[in-house]
Amino acid sequence: MTQPLLTTKGLSRDFGGLRAVDKADFTLMPGEIRAIIGPNGAGKTTFVSLICGRILPSSGAIGFNGAEITALPAYRRVRLGIAYTFQVTSVFANLSAYDNVALSVQRTLTDGRSRGAVREGAMKALEQVGLADRAGTPAGQLAYGHQRLLEVAMGLALQPKLLILDEPTQGLSDGEIEGFVALIREIAREATVLIIEHNMPVVMQLAHRITVFDAGRIIAEGDPAEIRTNTQVQEAYLGAAHG
């Protein structure tokens, strides 16, 4: 039987008197595209921040690829294969698209391999997201949608086992969203994808399974058809999302 890639047990995070994530039990299998949905303030970004180590839990445990990672700092989790792209673009505006991605590649080369290896890794990631022809463009001069794709390339360059994307289609045009859906399906051949997304058509198209948060708790999980017909989800989120 296949072992889960990621598990959380009783994962909680308090900020003062507010419990942002409340006893989350979560299992993610290798090769899955999993979407996390829920209303604003439901705890989605806090939850993935706990997984990638940007913040540490108040209680509970996180396991990744058979290892206990609950207390590991973020950079060690990157080395284990967890890559995270932010809700707000975090590219280095003054560096070229290529240099942004090359910085990520260098983090994976622990044996001081050649500049050729860096170039090969960076160009492969840029090609995957369709930005190879803009490799020399300063990131700050790229259109917003291309900056989002550059972030995905920076994540891919880390050769992750798990790629976490937070609101990746925010600000993308319809045409760009279509390309993004195709890209994620391509990425999922080599990596597991965990995506926070408000665009429900994208979620329903892409996700194998969906996890729904509300007020810090996981209130439902299932495939798109199950989530679409779940009355608790409709009350907490889908109704609010459409009205």
* HEC profile of the chain: CCCCCEEEEEEEEEECCEEEEEEEEEEECCCCEEEEECCCCCCHHHHHHHHHCCCCCCEEEEEECCEECCCCCHHHHHHHCEEEECCCCCCCCCCEHHHHHHHHHHHHCCCCCCHHHHHHHHHHHHHHCCCHHHCCCEHHHCCHHHHHHHHHHHHHCCCCCEEEEECCCCCCCHHHHHHHHHHHHHHCCCCEEEEECCCHHHHHHHCCEEEEEECCEEEEEECHHHHHCCHHHHHHHHHHHCC
pLDDT-derived band at 104, boundaries 50, 70, 90? confident
- Are both 52 and 152 inside the same structural domain? no
153/165 same-domain check: no
Give the domain extent around 62.
1-81+160-173+192-243
Q: Is the domain of 99 the same as that of 148?
A: yes
The verdict on residue 2 lying in a domain is yes
pLDDT one-digit tens code per residue, 17-63: 899 999 999 999 999 999 999 988 899 999 999 999 999 999 999 99
| Same domain (yes/no): 94, 142 | yes
Q: Are 129 and 207 part of one and the same domain?
A: no
This prediction's pTM: 0.89
**Among the listed ranges 109-118, 120-129, 200-209, which one has the minimum average pLDDT value?**
109-118
